[in-house]
Structure 1
């Protein structure tokens, strides 16, 4: 009788232990499943879409958000700046823009003329490779004169005379009356310095130094010179 009761007790104990073990395993499985769910993102599809969207939102180098070239990008900006400098150079230092006629890019010649009397003809020829502008009138100094020869204002042309390479401009120099006359207390001059005008007042560039024709008789107070002319005849009308 005791034996049967002992077996019943052992069997009941084993059942309880087995039930407890199964319950423990079930609880562990549930906890593991809950942990896995908590660690996983909410919806695999959404996570994948998020990664794809981030890649598309990052523009490639050198482009803006609309795919156009970004002026802030170093390469494109450098190209644009280089183009701008090229255009600026064309405007400021273009070889087609006239330079100023000076003693450096012209050859000057002074000569006597038969008519009108007591006149000299000053000729400059562009010896450079660019067109030059002969501004205003030449500043003339005979020998060591204290002031340049005055201008004939009526001879001012309507436009600045420009000389292509090889072309010439002219200015007439009025000396005085008949040499030796009592009313002309002049002198014989031997040397002439020619300075060249620019857009503003005064002279610029290298002057030209010339020997005057023999017996050039000048009266400093009455001598005068025309503005540069493109035609010799126009210069000699004064």
Structure 2
């Protein structure tokens, strides 16, 4: 089974609430080193944490990160972006492209770039952070990009399994971070989320449904669309 003990971990979006928790919890579980990446990395005051500049939308930045982190055994695609308003028709071309590049192309290109590094390790892990909204299209372009990442994660899992790379997809609703600061609905503690993700990873699970919202939305995938989206029929589900 995959283990964090002795692992070398790279976390994208490490400055955020979830990313920071991934960095700290990886070390708590015995990781030997963590590359804490961000567009503008911060100081961590821990020799085991290596700040590393990484813009997942920039191919040159991805190549530089791969060159600097050839010892990585666990890649965590955590960085993400969300538009200020929902919808898929109301955003500018630039807003749509920014979400596609950050939430879908960035994780995919990073996984592709690190695939030879991870495959050479014999036992390695990729963790992709999706969203419960990948199964519920009310968030427009954000939902679309997370749905695309979910599909890409399934493909990566199939292609990388023969090389010993274990791929984990994570679905979660609202998490108590700055991104969800304006949300009044229940929010999951980032520490609880990360603990669930690492527990599942070390148990060999392929998918994490981190909260009731994710469980319910996955179950609803087999339901008629009018049940999932009652506004289509004008009746309550």
Band of TM-score, shorter chain: under 0.3
**Which structure has the larger Rg over C-alpha atoms?**
1
Is the helix fraction higher in 1 or 2? Answer: 2
State the TM-score, normalized to the length of structure 1. Answer: 0.21
Is the strand fraction higher in 1 or 2? Answer: 1
